[in-house]
Amino acid sequence: MSNTSAEFLARLVSDAQQDGITGFVAAAIVTEADRILLVQRKPEDFMGGMWEIPSGKVEEGETILEALRRETTEETGLTIETVNGYLGHFDYPNSRGGTTRQFNFAVTVEKTEPVVLAEHDAHQWALPSELPGVSDAVRELIAG
């Protein structure tokens, strides 16, 4: 079974619900050569100033992959061409007092420029060995 199949993704959601997870986020590892796209949260946002991979909330009635495609485009202006595979998840406390599970996927975009930010202050293409202020979970995810 592919790790992007409907059955696999349904199991991810089911497992998260059994774990008591209250929020779901889909995130994209977008690469260009050996660099990874990072975006910086606005200072006034939850976890303001933090660098992260493009990600966003899975809305009611939306699949994880639909959210992945929508959020990547909303946050970066880039269009996902291919979802290459599931890279795992991590959990973190959210601003509402619950726990969010972030599902992370390797993707290929149609083109890597221009990056158009709608919800972040800045972006950069970073080498995995030279990451700016990302969370430990994102650092571990990128380090593999």
Question: What values do phi and psi take at 10, rounded to 5?
Answer: -65, -40
Q: What six digits make up the tokens of 104?
A: 């992370």
DSSP code of residue 64 = H
- The domain ranges of the chain are 6-143
CA-closest candidate to residue 90, choices 38, 142, 31: 142
**What global pTM score does this model have?**
0.94
Tens of pLDDT, residues 80-139: 999 999 999 999 988 888 999 999 999 999 999 999 999 999 999 999 999 999 999 999
* Number of neighbouring beta carbons within 10 Å of residue 95: 10
DSSP code of residue 133 = S
What is the pLDDT, as a whole number, of residue 1? 58
d(CA 9, CA 21): 15
Tens of pLDDT, residues 49-90: 999 999 999 999 999 999 999 999 999 999 999 999 999 999
Q: Which residue has the higher pLDDT, 107 or 3?
A: 107
Fold of 6-143: Nucleoside Triphosphate Pyrophosphohydrolase (3.90.79)
Q: Bridge partners of 36?
A: 31, 126
